[in-house]
Copies of this chain bind each other. A is one copy, B any other.
């Protein structure tokens, strides 16, 4: 894992497996779900290790943290610019790719907004709320 090396993080078993797991899913899992996923894969990790590593990966800029609507944090190793749809019933998060033209217009608008002149902006996120296919069917 050259990615880890380049950020000054040691390539320990738990950390490599965690990052690999996150890179291989689009499910935006919570810390609990990640722990369960690793254990299913035969990797025994303590919760503390998962939380500590998630914080380190977020600090290193390799993983993005999202504040789930249910209080739990959710994590995404896809650092490319993209947006999310959030299910208001089960909390599931799906990726959304807006047309580039719409995104450009949005970035232009926020960059020029008079209320935000005094802010130092880093990124604009679009969050679509609704019911996912599963929850929609009750």
Query: Closest chain B residue to A119 by CB distance?
Result: B130
- Are A115 and B129 in contact, with the CB atoms below 8 A? no
Q: A71-B73, A73-B71, A133-B119 are in contact. Are A110 and B124 (CB under 8 A)?
A: no
A132 to B113, CA, bound (A): 14
Instruction: Report A80-138 residues with CB < 8 Å from chain B CB.
Output: 85, 87-88, 94-99, 102, 105-106, 109-110, 113, 115-116, 118-133, 136
Query: Closest chain B residue to A126 by CB distance?
Result: B126
A16, chain B: closest CB distance, angstroms: 27
A99, chain B: closest CB distance, angstroms: 5
The quantity of this chain's copies bound in the complex is 2
Contact residues in B for A98 (Cβ distance below 8 Å): 106, 109-110, 113
Is A6's beta carbon under 8 Å from chain B? no
Q: A67-B67, A71-B73, A97-B115 are in contact. Are A124 and B127 (CB under 8 A)?
A: yes
A132 to B117, CA, bound (A): 10
A17, chain B: closest CB distance, angstroms: 25
Q: A69-B67, A126-B125, A126-B126 are in contact. Are A119 and B136 (CB under 8 A)?
A: yes
- Are B130 and A122 in contact, with the CB atoms below 8 A? yes
Interface residues of chain A, those whose CB is within 8 Å of chain B, are 65, 67-71, 73, 85, 87-88, 94-99, 102, 105-106, 109-110, 113, 115-116, 118-133, 136
